[in-house]
């Protein structure tokens, strides 16, 4: 490791020298020695060269290299470790952020606004916090100041974060489209198949408001006692989230399809097949999904009682095996405009699990029935009524002529007939049976994205009260999910594994009598593999050098 001066000739004939910290290595291809620049200090005429030489000696002593500057081996010197904090996770996220052009997208929209703070960096800090160590906006102050090395940022004020969230809300629609356009181009995303689903997330308060997003409704988090919002996600077949929506907590799934379709039509995606679960299926919604040349793959509720569904389930025919755990058969019901194409899928392993769950439930139901009083025509007791209205048990019960509840063998037989099966409906006749079945199965990608939002990124509970901040919070989580899923898809690793390895890379600050040096720890093999898969260069070994001025 040594300090060198590179001289460059200017257009006016003058020569300027630039001082660099470098070390030699042998090129593995040519076998010739080459110089690798670790750090550029600046112009020769603007820095203290003697202080740099003393600092170079200190660096070599610290890393254990033998250093001679025409005076023999140098003596030991005091080195004080000032700070050490994780930097690898934030560095990886920042490089992905820049690869996708998210920094440019935000700066373009900030061009006509007057902010004192670097808003793009503040937004990145909030996104990185979601991915690395989810916390409240207030707690982020200490996280940025003391617990992480964020590129381009050393401190954060909570009010900067709130102002950045307000800006994010103002540009949300435009931002999501521009992000999608850039991400699609960079990653060559296959968007002929889009998966859509919703979830809910709650607030840590019992208060709800009629004029805000915070409303009580059907809770997918099993917290009906708390107000919530409903969140929608559209993701690609690789699980990359391309758009998010936020609705009041009492919004029903059936009511959002038209808005989602209209928003996606505005993006001019071309031919798109939308994949939705059975909670969104109604005849009007399916017609909406066919607008602008679109098509759908939709789950169909097998116990809906629809004549077409009953006909599809009753149609004889052999299943064809696609995979060891997936068999399918195609069923077409009706003719002409009334024609409906179904794919009936069967999973043998899931059938075994369905049977085991039902048997366990029936054992519990028999125990409940044994506790009931035998009736001789008199009115039902509260216990009878409670069991008869039970959301799970009631479908397997019938009454005898005296009013007693009994298990209905026919209901059990019908349920067993559906074990391991799911019915899929599609409007696209050009798709193969296999594409329909596997396409619907990939809807699990959205469920996986929601699990990441709720567990890894800690989207819940929320503490914001203003609708604008609530929507911005969801948008920040969406951006974090975007980076996380890209990292997972391109490396083939889980985010928890990526984060664990990358956070082991630390930024170390040390002080010597000759100045201060900021450097990183050595790259491990796992870190090298992750960065290589993401096409990210290793960060510089020496991050910053501050020579001590003479006389100090």
Instruction: Please state the rounded mean pLDDT for residues 93-118.
Output: 88
Q: Is the pLDDT of residue 68 over 50?
A: no
pLDDT digits (tens, 9 = 90+) for 425-472: 999 988 899 989 988 888 877 888 888 888 888 888 777 888 999 999
- Mean pLDDT is lowest, of 79-93, 124-138, 423-437, 441-455, for 441-455
Q: Are 434 and 297 contacting, i.e. CB atoms less than 8 angstroms apart?
A: no
Q: For residue 468, which of 255, 126, 229, 235 has the smallest C-alpha distance?
A: 229
Q: Are 127 and 148 contacting, i.e. CB atoms less than 8 angstroms apart?
A: no
The 3-state DSSP class for residue 489 equals helix
Residue 422 CA: distances (Å) to CA of 54, 186, 250, 318: 73, 36, 28, 15
Exposed e or buried b per residue across 151-167, where buried means at least 16 C-beta atoms within 10 angstroms of its C-beta = bebeebeeebbbbbbeb
Name the residue with tokens 């290793």.
538
Which stretch of DSSP H or E encloses residue 517?
strand 515-520
Q: Give the model's pLDDT for residue 61.
A: 60
Q: Is the pLDDT of residue 70 over 50?
A: no
Q: Is the pLDDT of residue 62 over 60?
A: no
Instruction: Please state the rounded mean pLDDT for residues 371-383.
Output: 84
d(CA 92, CA 128): 10
Q: Give the model's pLDDT for residue 75.
A: 45
d(CA 23, CA 2): 6
Q: Give the model's pLDDT for residue 273.
A: 86
Number of neighbours of residue 358 by Cβ within 10 angstroms: 15
d(CA 88, CA 81): 19
The 3-state DSSP class for residue 304 equals coil
Q: Is the pLDDT of residue 303 over 60?
A: yes
Tokens standing for residue 210: 């009629």
Q: How buried is 118 (Cβ within 10 angstroms: 0-12 exposed, 13-18 middle, 19+ buried)?
A: middle
d(CA 426, CA 272): 13
The DSSP bridge partners found for residue 21 are: 3, 39
Q: For residue 482, which of 100, 68, 48, 91 has the smallest C-alpha distance?
A: 100
Q: Is the pLDDT of residue 207 over 70?
A: yes
Q: Give the model's pLDDT for residue 379.
A: 81
The DSSP bridge partners found for residue 399 are: 405
Q: Which residue has the higher pLDDT, 288 or 21?
A: 288
Number of neighbours of residue 283 by Cβ within 10 angstroms: 8
Q: Is the pLDDT of residue 212 over 80?
A: yes
Q: Give the model's pLDDT for residue 270.
A: 66
- Kindly report the average pLDDT of the chain as a whole number: 85
Q: How buried is 20 (Cβ within 10 angstroms: 0-12 exposed, 13-18 middle, 19+ buried)?
A: middle
- The CA dihedral of 185, 189, 195, 200, to the nearest 10 degrees, is -60
User: What is the crossing angle of helices 119-132 and 158-170, to 10°?
Assistant: 100
Q: What is the 3-state secondary structure (H, E, C) of 145-214?
A: HHHCCECCECCCCHHHHHHHHHHHHHCHHHHHHHHHHHHHHHHCCCCCEEEEEEEEEEECCCCCCCCCCC
Q: Give the model's pLDDT for residue 90.
A: 96
Q: Are 230 and 217 contacting, i.e. CB atoms less than 8 angstroms apart?
A: yes
Which stretch of DSSP H or E encloses residue 406?
strand 405-407
Length of the chain counted residue by residue: 552
Name the residue with tokens 């910053």.
544
Q: Are 158 and 137 contacting, i.e. CB atoms less than 8 angstroms apart?
A: yes
Q: Are 87 and 505 contacting, i.e. CB atoms less than 8 angstroms apart?
A: yes
Residue 550 CA: distances (Å) to CA of 47, 50, 51, 267, 444: 11, 9, 7, 61, 64
Over its C-alpha atoms, the chain yields an Rg (Å, rounded) of: 31
d(CA 315, CA 307): 12
pLDDT band at 56 (very low <50, low <70, confident <90, very high): low
User: What is the crossing angle of helices 172-187 and 467-491, to 10°?
Assistant: 10
Tokens standing for residue 382: 């509260």
Pairing of strands 340-346, 421-426: antiparallel
Q: Are 53 and 74 contacting, i.e. CB atoms less than 8 angstroms apart?
A: no
pLDDT digits (tens, 9 = 90+) for 485-518: 999 999 999 999 999 999 999 999 988 877 888 9
């Amino acid at each position: 490791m040594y300090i060198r001066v590179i001289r460059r000739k200017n257009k006016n004939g003058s020569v300027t020298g630039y001082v660099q910290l470098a070390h030699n290595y042998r090129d593995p291809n040519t076998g010739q020695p080459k110089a690798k620049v670790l750090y550029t200090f600046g112009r020769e005429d603007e820095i203290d060269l003697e202080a740099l030489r003393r600092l170079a000696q200190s660096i070599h002593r610290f890393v254990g290299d033998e250093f001679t500057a025409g005076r023999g081996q140098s003596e030991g010197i005091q080195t004080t470790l000032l700070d050490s904090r994780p930097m690898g996770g934030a560095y990886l996220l920042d490089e992905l952020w820049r690869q996708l052009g998210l920094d440019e997208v935000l700066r373009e929209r900030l061009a006509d606004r007057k902010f004192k703070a670097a808003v793009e960096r503040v937004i990145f800090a909030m996104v990185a916090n979601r991915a690395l160590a989810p916390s409240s906006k207030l707690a982020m102050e200490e996280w940025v100041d003391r617990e992480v090395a964020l590129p381009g940022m050393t401190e954060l004020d909570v009010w900067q974060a709130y102002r950045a969230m307000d800006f994010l809300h103002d540009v949300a629609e435009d931002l999501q489209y521009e992000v999608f356009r850039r991400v699609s181009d960079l990653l060559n995303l296959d968007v002929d198949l889009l998966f859509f689903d919703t979830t809910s997330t709650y607030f840590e308060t019992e208060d709800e408001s009629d004029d805000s997003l915070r409303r009580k409704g059907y809770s997918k988090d099993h917290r009906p006692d708390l107000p919530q919002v409903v969140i929608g996600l559209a993701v690609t077949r690789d699980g990359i989230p391309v758009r998010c929506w936020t609705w009041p907590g009492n919004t029903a799934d059936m009511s959002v399809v038209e808005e989602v379709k209209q928003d996606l039509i505005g993006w001019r995606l071309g031919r798109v097949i939308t994949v939705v679960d059975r909670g969104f299926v109604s005849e009007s919604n399916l017609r909406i999904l066919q607008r602008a040349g679109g098509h759908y793959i939709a789950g169909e509720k097998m116990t809906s009682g629809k004549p077409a569904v009953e006909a599809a389930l009753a149609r004889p025919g052999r299943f064809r095996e696609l995979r060891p755990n997936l068999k399918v058969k195609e069923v077409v019901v009706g003719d002409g405009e009334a024609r409906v194409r179904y794919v009936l899928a069967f999973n043998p392993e899931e059938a075994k699990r369905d049977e085991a769950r039902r048997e366990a439930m029936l054992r519990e139901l028999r125990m409940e029935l044994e506790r009931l009083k035998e009736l001789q025509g008199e009115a039902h007791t509260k216990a009878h009524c409670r069991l008869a209205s039970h959301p799970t048990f009631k479908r397997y019960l019938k009454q005898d002529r005296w009013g007693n509840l009994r298990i209905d063998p026919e209901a059990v037989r019908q349920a067993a007939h559906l074990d391991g099966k799911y019915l899929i409906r599609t409007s696209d006749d050009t798709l193969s049976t296999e594409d329909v079945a596997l396409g619907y199965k990939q809807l699990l990608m959205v469920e996986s994205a929601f699990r990441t939002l709720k567990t890894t990124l800690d989207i819940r509970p929320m503490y914001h009260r203003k609708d604008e901040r609530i929507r911005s919070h969801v948008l920040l989580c969406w951006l974090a999910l975007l980076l996380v899923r890209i990292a997972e898809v391109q490396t083939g690793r889980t985010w928890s594994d990526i984060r664990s390895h990358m956070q082991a890379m630390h930024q170390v600050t040390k002080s010597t009598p000759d100045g201060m040096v900021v450097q990183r720890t050595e790259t491990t093999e796992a870190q090298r593999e992750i960065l290589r898969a993401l096409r990210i260069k290793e960060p510089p070994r020496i991050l910053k050098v501050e020579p001590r001025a003479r006389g100090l």
